[in-house]
Chain A
């Protein structure tokens, strides 16, 4: 029983660490702010949720200690990481950061309702 729980914990933690490494690789490699934001917000969110789930299972099954703060942390990261990514993406568009040269579509530039662009 203990060994099976340890294998599951190792699986979750390895998936989380790998996803964080992939997020760092995307942030290094990708060409402009928006694609880097895409890589960092999604992969980091899933990676940290997986690592926290592994930690919660470890402390629940091996130490017999139900820690509700880790569950609150999982819910909090699930809610706030996309919001932070959206806010920083919108702030970078409104403060005039250019898209990549080879990107083909910019719908927000032609939108009549879009307010808040500082010339």
Chain B
């Protein structure tokens, strides 16, 4: 029962990822795609946690924090690029 409940949860996460992939492909504007990719990163973290429960190992739990940090940094860099046109600015006179 426990195992099948975890498998149902993995199925729900996979359907959610399909929805976000649909929005990332079709989305009319660029920020739609960035939102969809950020949520895809979050769902990937959920999938990692559930798979580490299924395999009954704690070797993958560092990956959770790593994917979270990478998704946040990617979203911040993309939004700064959309707003200012560059990610790292070097001018001191502005």
| Interface, chain A (partner B; CB < 8 A) | 6, 9-10, 13-14, 16-18, 20-21, 23-25, 27-28, 33, 36-37, 40-41, 44-45, 47-48, 51-52, 55, 58-59, 63, 65, 67, 69-70, 72-73, 76-77, 80-81, 83-85, 87-92, 94-95, 97, 116
| Interface, chain B (partner A; CB < 8 A) | 2, 5-6, 8-10, 12-13, 15-20, 22-23, 29-32, 34-36, 38-39, 42-43, 45-46, 49-50, 52-53, 56, 58, 61-62, 64-65, 68-69, 71-72, 75-76, 78-80, 82-83
Interface centre among B22, B34, B49, B76 (most CB of A within 10 A): B49
A10 near B2 with CB under 8 A, answer yes
Whether A88 contacts B64 in the complex (CB less than 8 A), given A20-B13, A95-B83, comes out as: no
Whether A76 contacts B65 in the complex (CB less than 8 A), given A10-B5, A16-B46, comes out as: yes
The answer, among A9, A17, A77, for a CB contact under 8 Å with B12, is A17
Report the minimal beta-carbon distance from B68 to chain A, rounded to whole angstroms.
5
Report the minimal beta-carbon distance from A61 to chain B, rounded to whole angstroms.
12
Q: Which residue of A lies closest to B19 (CB)?
A: A24
B46 near A70 with CB under 8 A, answer no
The answer, among A40, A52, A59, A70, for a CB contact under 8 Å with B38, is A40
Q: Which residue of B lies closest to A116 (CB)?
A: B83
B15 near A91 with CB under 8 A, answer no
Interface pairs (16), CB distance under 8 Å: A9-B2, A10-B5, A16-B9, A17-B12, A18-B12, A20-B16, A20-B43, A21-B13, A33-B35, A37-B31, A37-B35, A59-B58, A69-B62, A70-B49, A73-B45, A91-B31
B15 near A21 with CB under 8 A, answer yes
Report the minimal beta-carbon distance from B71 to chain A, rounded to whole angstroms.
8
